[in-house]
Structure 1
Amino acid sequence: MTSRRDWTPEEDLLGFFGPDSVTWRVHADPVFSVGGLRALLLQALHPVAMDGVATFSAGFRTDPWPRLARTAAYVDTLTFGSRREAMRAVRRVRGLHRRLVGVEPRGGRAYRVDDPDLLLWVHCCEVDSLLDVARRAGVLAGDVDADRYVAEQVIAAVLVGCTEDDVPRTAAELAAYLEGMRPSLVVTPAARNACRLVLVPPMPAWVRFLTPAQPAWGTLAVLAFATLPGWARRMYAMPGLALTDVAATAGLRAFRQAILALPHRARRSPIVRAGYERVAAGLSA
């Protein structure tokens, strides 16, 4: 999977997923951004994973934008980059993780940021979140597409360091994994702070008052929180954001239609656009 010697030029061109994959369909859609924020809120409920963020991303509390941008760029590159580009991104992330060790104060667990069980939690939260918003918004039509997406994402999990046999391969397995994790989840002070930061991130005054950034982000954040599983919303105990599931789904669909009205250049990152252009040029050559 990771050896360049095993790749044909066409496989390198298409990347690890390719334009016929469900992954490209989900990750290129406007609701991807909502799913990404939902994943962060869900990931924060694991006390050890959250301690890793709080300990090793201290700047996130005062200026979250660089870390959010790096995370989005990594997922975009892994999805839409060539295999060589994706592997460069994977090696960079794994190299950073490898050096980070800590002790979670609540339970006293010593951990490495790249412990397979922590990587699996982060992976499953991301896949569940992106899958949930895609299904609600109508990006995916049924269970077959949902299972294909979860199965395709096993590649992403293994590349970042998860143990392959532990990674869910169907939507049902993914749901069972999350259900099994619920007894070990808790809203620590760090998790509550992270939630507030996602919902109301710091912005320079001129951005907040002279641009539409704050209301636009507010829409994303409220939709992300509202689409969390009910048990996760109850753990955070923020009744002011408790939209019904019906209202959350309606809001998500309205958001998607509004963004789809924009040209591709305005709603897709440069990495996503480059992936489509690279594949189109390569296949027509």
Structure 2
Amino acid sequence: MPTRRSTVEPHEDYGFFGPGSVVWKVWGYPTAPTVALQRAVVVEELDPPLVAAVHGTQDIYRRPRTRYDRTLRYFSMVAFAGSRDVCKAADILVKVHSKAIGKLPYGGGTYDANDPDSQLWIQLTGWHSILYAYEKYGPGKLSADEEKEYWESCAVAAEFQTCPPGDIPRDRAGVRAYFELMRPRMSASPIAKQAMHHLLRTELVLLPGMPWWEKPGALIAARAIRAATIATLPRWMRRTAGIRQSRLTDVLIVPVMKAGFALLHLSPRAELAILEKLSPSTVPVVAPVKLGIPPRTDEVLTPAEARTRHGYEKPAEAHLDLRARQAARLFGEGKEPSDEGLIESQYILGRLT
């Protein structure tokens, strides 16, 4: 694992946030790759088009650890990596999502993982979950200025999705209003319930490949993360999805996780060691930040500056020909969409196996 300063590759620049930013503060806390990410992917499944895409690929069932690894790597790149790497990752993600199209299994219609509404749902569910877990199991609420900066940063990060950055709420009230708007659209369909329960099995991500002597402790940690994640879910959501956990567990898990995360955060090397168990491909993204290794260029860019410098289109406008060909293959010719984006993504987002 690259935890020695001499073996860590520095980023090209500070990307889009940099040291002192609230993004580095919140996304750099150990709640982010654990409870927060698990919460995000569980809640996401209540969106019918999104869960249809997830169910269509079956990746979360066939390779849950790999899917978790690649998802965490992408979001961590947006938060911490250099601007060129982020632009490249966002560009290839559009190609990956071009394959995730099809017919909705319930109610008719079609789904497209590149659809702006689906991308907005993913963006806000992810950033909200990261902040929620930080507040519940970390140092607590941000200041008013920090929270304002956080949601403005969420809009910056949205420039690497296909959703319009202007659709991102800029405060807590706006985020609440968005989720209230989405609530009638949420559906705990059979495939959504299946996915949510599956994604709460933390052991599927944490235990594979571990030596036998580490597994008892890892299983305890997995169960604690699961309990902590469930404790963040609203009661109505749990009832809808058939997820059960006692109120006593909800209460007791908070001080346990707060103490555990605070202790872990004292040691960057320990944080990296845990991260390698969860998401090996994310370690090179986060290690320079955790170990205080400066980038080659002391610079923070805007997304527009980065696209101009590195030669990338906005994600919403990228690879339109490929997306049209994929749709023609599936809906016109009855063939499966090609894997070209998925295969190419391995060099950027991590291996598929």
- The verdict on a shared fold, with TM-score over 0.5 as the criterion, is yes
- Amino acid paired to 2:49: V
Task: Specify every segment of 5 or more residues in structure 1 that has no aligned partner in the other structure, as ranges.
Answer: 1-10
Match runs of 1:237-276 below 5 Å = 237-240=242-245, 242-243=247-248, 246-261=251-266, 263-268=267-272, 269-275=283-289
Residues paired across the two proteins, number:
271
Take 1:169 and 1:237, find their aligned partners in 2: how far apart are those partners? 33
TM-score relative to the length of structure 1: 0.86
- The residue aligned with 2:189 is 188
User: Secondary structure of the residue that 1:111 maps to in structure 2?
Assistant: strand
State the structure with bigger RCO (CA 8 A, min sep 6), 1 or 2: 2
Task: Specify every segment of 5 or more residues in structure 2 that has no aligned partner in the other structure, as ranges.
Answer: 1-10, 273-282, 299-353
Q: Name which one, 1 or 2, has greater alpha-carbon Rg.
A: 2
- The residue aligned with 2:199 is 198
1:279 and 2:294 correspond: yes
- The residue aligned with 2:6 is none
- The residue aligned with 2:159 is 158
- Amino acid paired to 2:200: L
Question: 1:209/1:198 Cα in 2 relative to 1: closer, same or farther (>3 Å)?
Answer: farther
Take 1:191 and 1:209, find their aligned partners in 2: how far apart are those partners? 35
- The residue aligned with 1:113 is 113
Tell me the CA shift for residue 243 of structure 1: 5.0
TM-score relative to the length of structure 2: 0.70
1:215 and 2:191 correspond: no
Match runs of 1:1-285 below 5 Å = 13-32=13-32, 33-56=34-57, 58-136=58-136, 137-200=138-201, 201-202=203-204, 210-211=214-215, 212-240=217-245, 242-243=247-248, 246-261=251-266, 263-268=267-272, 269-275=283-289, 277-279=292-294, 282-283=297-298
- The residue aligned with 1:6 is none
Contact 1:100 1:112 in 2 (8 A): yes
Tell me the CA shift for residue 38 of structure 1: 0.6
- Amino acid paired to 1:274: P
* Residue-by-residue CA offset, 1:126-179 (whole Å, 9 max, x unaligned): 111111111222254333322221110111112111112222121211111011
* Residue-by-residue CA offset, 1:94-119 (whole Å, 9 max, x unaligned): 11112331111112121211000000
Question: 1:148/1:249 Cα in 2 relative to 1: closer, same or farther (>3 Å)?
Answer: farther
Tell me the CA shift for residue 23 of structure 1: 0.7
Q: Among the aligned pairs, what percent are the same residue?
A: 27
More helix by share: 1
Question: 1:208/1:222 Cα in 2 relative to 1: closer, same or farther (>3 Å)?
Answer: farther
Question: 1:249/1:206 Cα in 2 relative to 1: closer, same or farther (>3 Å)?
Answer: closer
Take 2:293 and 2:211, find their aligned partners in 1: how far apart are those partners? 34
User: Secondary structure of the residue that 1:102 maps to in structure 2?
Assistant: strand
Tell me the CA shift for residue 84 of structure 1: 0.6
Take 1:65 and 1:17, find their aligned partners in 2: how far apart are those partners? 28
- The residue aligned with 2:335 is none
Take 1:90 and 1:181, find their aligned partners in 2: how far apart are those partners? 25
Question: 1:111/1:195 Cα in 2 relative to 1: closer, same or farther (>3 Å)?
Answer: closer
* Residue-by-residue CA offset, 1:66-105 (whole Å, 9 max, x unaligned): 0100011111111111101111111111111123311111
TM-align CA RMSD:
2.4
- The residue aligned with 1:8 is none
Contact 1:98 1:112 in 2 (8 A): yes
- Amino acid paired to 1:155: V
Question: 1:282/1:62 Cα in 2 relative to 1: closer, same or farther (>3 Å)?
Answer: same
Take 1:260 and 1:280, find their aligned partners in 2: how far apart are those partners? 22
